[in-house]
Amino acid sequence: MNSDFFDRAAKFAIDAHHGGERKGKGYPYILHPMEAAGIVASISNDQELLAAAILHDTVEDTDVTIEQIRQEFGDRVATLVYSETSHLPHDAPWRDRKQAQADAIASASRDSKIVALGDKLSNLRAIVTDYHQIGDALWQRFKAPNGKEDILWYYTILASALRDLAGTPPYEEYLKLLKEL
């Protein structure tokens, strides 16, 4: 297997996220997209899926545009990254934004769902780990108006949106972690 394509995407993501920090964690942000790519790799070795996973937050969280992704990595990767990018204004009500994200995932292609699962499972792992470390203080980190109740609601509707991936180890881990919360 030739990993040149993924290596190029990883370098692009590292450069785009340079200096960024994972909210409330104190470590480089790029570790999250790397973990997402690792999760995707447990389902598929498709280099474009892996590239989309490591690039999934570049458009939403950096100055990178979807056109730059398209120019550098092609239409398929750009489409997958775009499907992981929130399209509602940040000032829209929290539940509306999260419902729109879940609805988009539910109607997305299997490839988009694989990338989304990489992202969401990485996030859920962090939430469960942090919950075990700091308890209910964790919920203050989120913009969810009802804290834990909203977070559980969101990750539950995501489980439904991602159910096409049932039987894959990452999806089963997702369900286990959700139940643990």
- Quick check: 157 and 99 in contact, CB under 8 A? yes
* Phi and psi, residue 80, nearest 5°: -65, -40
Of residues 21, 48, 57, 61, which has the active-site annotation? Answer: 61
- Quick check: 38 and 31 in contact, CB under 8 A? no
Of residues 46, 60, 150, 173, which has the active-site annotation? Answer: 60
Classify the C-alpha dihedral 168-74-2-57 as positive or negative.
negative
Q: Among this protein's residues, is 61 annotated catalytic?
A: yes
With a CB cutoff of 8 Å and minimum separation 6, the contacts of 19 are none
> Could you give the CA distance from residue 140 to residue 75 in angstroms, rounded to a whole number?
38
CA distances 139 to 95, 122, 134, 144, Å, are 15, 17, 10, 8
Q: Among this protein's residues, is 164 annotated catalytic?
A: no
> Could you give the CA distance from residue 94 to residue 166 in angstroms, rounded to a whole number?
27
Give catalytic residue positions: 60-61
